[in-house]
Amino acid sequence: MRRIRLGVGAAFAAGTLSVTGLALAPSAAAVTPQSATINATCAIGGSGAATLTATQNGTSATVTLSSSEITAPIAFAEDSIQSTLTFVKAGGGTTSFTGTENPALAAGDGMVVGPLTGTVAPGDSLEAYGGSLQMVVFGFPVNCTASGPQSPGPFVFD
């Protein structure tokens, strides 16, 4: 009987520790919305709808831009486009996301850049309209701008 009580006590203690660990574990930060749509015009590649997809992990965040309407004018090797995506912050200022992440693209493929990384603070509200995307391709800058606010609204980070 004593062995059973000891086993039950040990199991109870282990269960309590695991529940306590879950309660004290940091929660994953969230961004809302997780994706938004903009209409953009680029100096090369055309114009049209693009989707922005955001993720957040603490103060680190990523944004990926993809579009089937804005196309690659030539073939690009994987990770060959240096990109800076700048958002306007509610209340003033800007936040930039940078990187050289892109899949290999054939001429005419829809553009995809990212995930681009940046730093955010709790409560940051970031809007693409008024910001820009600058891509450096073979040493030449290509600029894109949003023609209106992103939908359903700005990214708000926890």
pLDDT (tens digit per residue) in 104-152: 999 999 999 999 999 999 999 999 999 999 999 989 999 999 999 999 9
DSSP string computed for 75-125: -B-TT--EEEEEEEETTS-EEEEEE-----B-TTPEEEEEEEEEE--TT-E
Which DSSP category does 18 fall into?
H
Mean pLDDT, rounded, for 55-62: 97
Distances (CA, A) of 8 to 18, 19, 22, 90, 138: 15, 16, 21, 55, 67
pLDDT for 8 beyond 90: no
Contact 65, 118 (CB under 8 A): no
Average pLDDT, the chain: 87
Report the helix count and the strand count for the chain, using DSSP H and E: 1, 10
Reported as half-sphere exposure (CB side, CA atoms, 13 A), residue 132 has a value of 9
pTM of full prediction above 0.75: yes
Distance, CA of 7 to CA of 147 (rounded, Å) = 67
Task: Give percent above pLDDT 90 in the chain.
Answer: 77
The predicted pLDDT at position 29 comes to: 67
Cα–Cα dist 23/135, whole Å: 43
| Per-residue pLDDT at 64 exceeds 50 | yes
Residues 119, 59 contacting (CB under 8 angstroms): yes
Pair 127, 150: CB distance under 8 Å: yes
